[in-house]
Chains A and B, each alone.
Chain A
Amino acid sequence: MAGIASGLFNSIFRRNYVFLSTVFLGAFAFEIAFDTTTDAIWNRINKGRQWKDIKHRYVQKPSEDEDDDDE
């Protein structure tokens, strides 16, 4: 326990810039991971109900520009 605490202190809390960077990067990383996970769960719950699941039936064949066909 003491080893973990001292290691944590030496690696993160000793220098403020390291600490702040850890906080910000951790926030971004957590949000990305959380959003990805929950979106995946959401899409699995609502499989076949959302527009992106039925969109392919109605989009014209790519003869013309299809870049304006966004979500």
Chain B
Amino acid sequence: MLAMPALRTVPARVVARQTLRKSTTRAASSSSSSTEATSSPFYTTLTASAATVVAIGSVAWYYHLYGREAFAMTPQEEGLHPTQYPWEHYRWVKTFDHQALRRGFQVYREVCSSCHSLKRIPYRSLVGTIATVDEMKALAEENEYDTEPNDEGEIEKRPGKLSDYIPSPYKNDEAARAANNGALPPDLSLMVKARHGGCNYIFSLLTGYPEEPPAGATVQSGLNFNPYFPGTGIAMARVLYDGLVEYEDGTPATASQMAKDVVEFLNWAAEPEMDNRKKMGMKVLTIGALLFALSVWVKRYKWSTVKTRQLVYNPPVGPKR
């Protein structure tokens, strides 16, 4: 063990002496390792330094590009995250509360429909879920629709039928923008599906208007402050105030009650199949659970012989020596 370091240093010293002979400027030193370090040529140091700089630089450049926290969607740009409300109809085996749907449709008709269209919903789909046939027929007849061209090619007007779609407040998007200071009130048919947060977002938006914008918030002229709206500046002003509509079933029409009802109605408009879907899902899960249990039993039954068998190894009896 003692001889080993001595053996190792001998070649190093030889190399050091050789390099010393070549580069005369270098000073000789006593220890072998420092001699080796000082004796390395200039270009080696340069290469190592350059490689280090490149390595650190590329890491820094990569971190600069991808490593930092992205501030593309600040809370202000994204909007406040909506509160998670315990919606009864979000539960697995709960239908819509159809009384609430009826109230929500009333709120839509009396409040929202002055600006927002609901053009994917025909009157017939409201029949049997929200209103009776007679009510919907009467409602449809209040509006006029274009007929097919007659013999002279003229398009006349006719009263609405159950198969007609709920009329939009404006003729087209341009008219809607012109009437609303350049802002387009979006169609509400699929709005619950179209926004992150769904019901929670729309409810928070409707009820989240503060009395006045908080200190430091900048609100453009013509816009209103709402923390839940991405960008916080929303063209729609607060519309739901207590007692705005009078419910036919006597429910107190507070702002939050109206918002809850209209959100549930919009959820129905976006997912009219939800009740049947959940009912069918319950049946499918029941049958699926039964079949799964059956398959587990069959597997255990078929494998029982394999699992309970005993393998015995009998070594061959060799010839006696």
Contacts and interface: CB of A to CB of B under 8 A. Distances in A.
Interface in A6-58: 34-35, 38-39, 41-42, 45-46, 49-51, 53-55, 57-58
Interface stretch (B126-134, B292-300, B307-315): B126-134
Contacts of A60: 132, 134
A34 B94 contact: no
B282 A49 contact: no
Contacts of A54: 98-99, 102
A49 B279 contact: no
Contacts, number: 50
A49 B96 contact: yes
A49 B132 contact: no
Size bracket, chain B contacts: 20 to 34
Given A34-B283, A42-B279, A49 B133 contact: no
Contacts of A55: 132
Contacts of A38: 279, 282-283, 286
Size bracket, chain A contacts: 20 to 34
A58 B128 contact: no
Interface in B238-290: 249, 275, 279, 282-283, 286-287
A45 B129 CA distance: 18
A49 B89 CA distance: 10
A58 B283 contact: no
Contact of A68 (B95, B133, B282, B287): B133
B131 A58 contact: yes
A47 B94 CA distance: 10
Given A60-B134, A69-B133, 18 more contacts: A34-B286, A38-B279, A38-B283, A39-B279, A41-B282, A42-B93, A45-B93, A45-B94, A46-B93, A49-B94, A51-B128, A51-B129, A54-B98, A54-B102, A59-B132, A60-B132, A69-B134, A71-B128
Interface of A: 34-35, 38-39, 41-42, 45-46, 49-51, 53-55, 57-60, 68-71
